[in-house]
Each structure stands twice: as structure tokens, then as C-alpha cells.
Amino acid sequence: MRGIVRGIVRGWIYRLALSVLLLLPVACQPEPQPLSIGAMPWADGESSSYRITDINGDFAGTATITLTAGAATVEGAGWTMRWDVLAQGDQEEIVVEMQSPGLRPTLSTLVRTRGAGREAVKATYAGGQVDMELTTTRNVITYERVNIPSDARDQRTLIQLVRALPLAEDYATQVNSFLPVTALLERVTVAVVRQEVVVVPAGSYAGWLVELRTGDSTSQLWIGVETPQLVLKYIDDRSGATYALE
């Protein structure tokens, strides 16, 4: 009888411990809040330069991000974000025009040069629809129309959008993200992990460590605590590239 009782007790303790372990990860995840974008922390003409290293930590190139007030495709207030990237022999020029407030995209263009080859992607956003014009290195043009949620943001603007969120301990929200190059639509969870000191070529800063989680990747982003909440560092989980503020 004692053996039976001990077996029952052990089984109960095991099931209880397993239940607690299963619940722990859920308890550690903050509940996502509705997306709320505040005032833009940057000023017209802000330009930031980044050193790019590859997955092995070797130098891979440079990137410059410029934010300019106004946008040709936006009536009234708007912003234009430009990426200039030179990495491992490839050159990319990305321009995204956005509404303000909210940073919803209206137009984006990507021009990529590889050696003598040049390819381009132009995406025009209209509510829940994106019209894309794709030009190959052989100058062949094709067109594609994709339906997306009307609140989707252009994937290339996400790390800037995070700067305008009310970042704090246990903060989390979700954003619909669209990448015209591959027509990839994702639901991205933006979650603050902790505040810490991050060291980059530009110096040492207090920053929020933020994770950008999708179904198959978790990228890391460090945003400065102090205004203008600069993007200090970004590790792209898919490419393995690290961008560090210079």
C-alpha cells in the first residue's frame, strides 16, 4: 500500500512540476499592446552611418540612413527614409515615402547594383493593395499586384518605427510588415527585453534591447533611451549581418 501511495504522490508531483514548467514561458511573455505610434523623435535631415559586419564578425560594408521631412506622394505631412548600403560589392539604394503620423508607406523603391548588373523594385501602396514593378538585370519589366492589410508597414522602415513606440519594461506590440522585394507579409512582434549599455563605434549608450520576432526568426535591435532614440545596433537574424552606429 505504501508503495502505491508513494507512486501516486510522485506522479502528482511530476505532473505539477511539468505544468509549472509549461506555464513559465507564457508568463514571461508580455501581452502585446495595440500599436500606438507617438511623435517622431528624429529631426528633418537626420543622417546616421553604420558599420556592417557579417555572421563571422568580419567587416562587410557600410550603411547610411537619412530621414527627410516631406514626401512627393503624400499630401501634407510626410517623411522620406533613404538607405544607402554598400556591402560585399553590392550597392543598394532604398527610398520609402511615408505618411505622418503613423508612418504608413505610400511608395518605395529599391535599386540594387551588382557589378555591371542593375535591378529595381518599385512598390506603390494604396490601402490594402500594393502594385509592384520589377526590373531585372536584363531590363525585363514585370508587374505584380498583392493584397495586404491596410495597416501594413514597409519592412525596411520597421527599425525606425520602433523609435517612435512607447518603449518601456515589459512592453510589446505587433506590426504587420511587408517586403516588396519578395512580397513577404509577416506579423512581427516587437518586444522590449531589457535596458542595457550597448557599445558601438560611436560610443557607449544606454539602450533598450528590443526583439523583432516572426515565425522563423528573432532579430535584435538596440534603441537609445535618450532622445532622439537613435538606432544604436541591429542584428538581422536571417542574414546574420550586424549594423553598429558609427
What per-residue confidence (pLDDT) applies to 115? 82
Distance of CA 233 to the CA centre of its chain: 12
Q: Is residue 201 part of a domain?
A: yes
Q: Which residues contact 36 (CB under 8 A, 6 or more apart)?
A: 165, 166, 173
Q: Tell me if the bond preceding 105 is cis, omega within 30° of 0.
A: no
Same domain, 211 and 160: yes
Same domain, 89 and 4: no
The three cell numbers of residue 11 are 506522479
Provide the residue range defining the domain that includes 158: 46-245
Q: Is residue 39 part of a domain?
A: no
Residue type, 201: P
Q: Is residue 36 part of a domain?
A: no
Same domain, 19 and 66: no
Same domain, 214 and 120: yes
Residue type, 97: E
Grouped pLDDT means (10 residues each) for the chain, 246 residues: 42 42 51 95 98 97 98 96 94 97 96 92 96 96 97 97 97 98 96 98 98 96 97 97 98
Q: Is residue 142 part of a domain?
A: yes
pTM for this model (two decimals)? 0.87
Same domain, 56 and 9: no
Same domain, 14 and 109: no
Tell me how many degrees the CA angle 154-159-164 measures, rounded to the nearest 5: 100
Q: Is residue 10 part of a domain?
A: yes
Residue whose entry in the numeric block shows the C-alpha cell 522602415: 157
Q: Is residue 232 part of a domain?
A: yes
What per-residue confidence (pLDDT) applies to 21? 38
Q: Is residue 40 part of a domain?
A: no
What per-residue confidence (pLDDT) applies to 29? 74
Same domain, 78 and 144: yes
Q: Is residue 85 part of a domain?
A: yes
Q: Which residues contact 141 (CB under 8 A, 6 or more apart)?
A: 133, 134, 135
Same domain, 10 and 120: no
Q: Answer whether 82's CB lies under 8 Å from 97's CB.
A: no
Number of domains comprising the chain: 2
Could you report how far apart the first and last alpha carbons of the chain are, in Å?
Answer: 72
**CA-wise closest residue to 65 among 41, 53, 79, 82:** 82
What per-residue confidence (pLDDT) applies to 9? 37
Same domain, 136 and 205: yes
Same domain, 220 and 101: yes
Same domain, 79 and 155: yes
Same domain, 133 and 51: yes
